[in-house]
Amino acid sequence: MIDIDRSLVGDIVADLVIAGHSRPFQVATLEECRSCVEGIDSSLESFSPGEGGDLRHWHFERCHVLAREMADNNVLREICEYFIGSHVSEVRCQAGVLKAGVANVSSGGGWHVDSRKRQFKAILCLTDVGYNNGPFAMLPQTSLRLSDFQTYQKAPGDTSRSRFHEQELHGHRDAWNQRLVNVGPTGTMFLVDTSNIHRGMPIVEGSRYSLTNYYYNLERD
């Protein structure tokens, strides 16, 4: 089961407010994660490609007990509601798979923001994630200064102002030099504010399996 130590909540929230991300913390056992990975591998035919070439199942909480427990976790919901300042009306738990072997496969399709409002995601590592396994990367505190960065359109008519070329980010050395890469062993979780500029890094070797909670306020969003 997803086990979050409530004594950590104060520090987790402080990290989110100050930096836009938490430090990794252990929530699931190796056996639970292995079972979930086996469940993912047995149902890959129901996955679809993400923007970076990864594979995704949007509602894996309907398929495996660990994903369901993660989606239903009240501590995560409470942290999210406190952080975004509004009620959560819907949660889904997405399974993601990255495997090395194809150049530049990643999750999310490059540097971007999910929204220009505060956003909250919980990400669980189902396998060990090192620097070569396509880890989550972020430029902390960039949500406070998004107007400083030039965006590009994903397609004609795109008005989201959500995508950033890496060359543009290199030009902001103060932000680029503070970039964070989240690595951790199997069973660790980290929480992030995805209104900061972020991406899944290209995978170089091995594989990366993960679960990610997406939280929605249907009136706010």
| Residues of the chain falling short of pLDDT 70 | 103-104, 218-221
Give me the domains of the chain, ranges plus CATH numbers.
Answer: 27-216 (2.60.120.620)
| SS3 per residue for 12-28 | HHHHHHHHCECCCEECC
Contacts 24+ apart (CB under 8 A), 78-81: 78/9, 79/9, 79/12, 79/13, 79/16, 79/120, 79/191, 80/120, 80/122, 80/215
pLDDT for res 108: 81
> Where do we find the tokens 């030009």?
171
pLDDT for res 104: 66
Amino acid identity of 56?
R
pTM above 0.85, yes or no: yes
pLDDT for res 103: 65
Q: Is residue 30 packed enough to be buried (19+ CB in 10 Å), middle (13-18) or exposed (0-12)? A: exposed
Ramachandran assignment for 69, one of left (phi > 0), alpha (psi -120 to 50 degrees), beta (any other):
alpha
Write the DSSP symbol of residue 201: P
pLDDT for res 136: 96
Amino acid identity of 17?
V
The 3-state DSSP class for residue 214 equals strand
pLDDT for res 186: 98
Phi, psi (rounded to 5 degrees) for 46: -95, 5
Helices (H), 20-122: 30-41, 65-72, 74-84
pLDDT for res 200: 95
CA distance 182 to 135: 6
pLDDT for res 221: 55
| SS3 per residue for 115-166 | CCCCCCEEEEECCCECCCECCEEECCCHHHHHHHCCCECCCCCCCCCCECCH
For residue 48, the surrounding DSSP H or E stretch is: strand 48-49
Q: Assess contact for 96 and 184: CB atoms under 8 A.
A: no
